[in-house]
Amino acid sequence: MEILLHKNQFPTGSRNSIQFVWEFGKLKILTYMQHITISDSDIDKRDGKHYITPPSLNRQHHPEEIEIPVTVIEQMDKLNINLKNSRESIAHVEHKTGKIFLSLNADGQIIAKHGHKTAISDVEIIENKNAINVQALGLSVQYIEVPSTVETAYTKAKNIKIMEKCILTSAGKSLLTGKDYFKLNFQIPVSSWDCVEDLFEDFGSGLGKKGELTGWLTNQPEKVQKLLGLKSTKGKREHDDEMTQFEDAITILEKTK
């Protein structure tokens, strides 16, 4: 896609006509003799101005230096930033000052970019809609609604983070059966819970009796770990037993000294 950034006062195609065109991050200068694609290294910056010397076509051709208007440099910088933001984004939101590009960072938060400015936010419910705080962008609004594609990606990333930290921990022994029960340390996503719900029992809120089990618990930790892909972890009771054995061994060693 080509965007005309500037054209001098001479008719297009005439010997003195010069056009400055942006095309996907590249600046092109179109003259009667040449069409030149230039890079930043080709631009000579002097006294706050920008110049380019076109290459010679032959020994008899000695092109004159061309000054690049400051408006061309400003527009090119803005277009290049938007192109970079667009390539890194999942989606964008239209605003009267230009597009706001949205992506996710490594922590699963939403990054909003508008030109050189960046805002990072989690999703909040604002006026019954999923939105993010973009105050750092300096716009006329503090929040913008999140497109469905970004919301889906955000939820998926958050769920992955939850499952990475999720483990089973010991909840204690049943006062009725003596069985060992385990609980999840996080409330897991619905899609994951559906896979293991049948392996859990609801012990309710309880009456506060010492040692009484409460909440959703399982006595089949290995099956839950396998289905959810959890790291194998030792329950608190097993850990306590190992510590007791270790302390007993230390005591025996001290007595034999």
Average pLDDT value for residue range 187-203: 94
Q: Give the pLDDT band (50/70/90) at residue 254.
A: low
- The yes-or-no verdict on residue 154 having pLDDT over 60 is yes
Domain ranges for the chain, please list them.
2-76, 90-161, 166-249
pLDDT in tens, 46-88: 999 999 988 888 777 778 889 999 999 999 999 999 999 999 8
Alpha carbon of residue 158 to chain centroid: 11
Each as own residue / partner, the long-range contacts of residues 191-198 (CB below 8 Å, 24 or more positions apart, any chain) are 191/159, 192/159, 192/163, 192/228, 195/227, 195/228, 196/223, 196/224, 196/227, 196/228
CA 192, 200, 220 angle in degrees (round to 5)?
95
**Calpha distance 77→45 (Å, rounded):** 15
* Structure confidence at residue 233 (pLDDT): 58
Cβ-contact 87, 102 below 8 angstroms:
no
Q: Give Cα separations from 111 to 81, 119, 126, 137 (angstroms).
A: 15, 6, 18, 11
Q: What is the model's pTM?
A: 0.68
Cβ-contact 204, 165 below 8 angstroms:
no
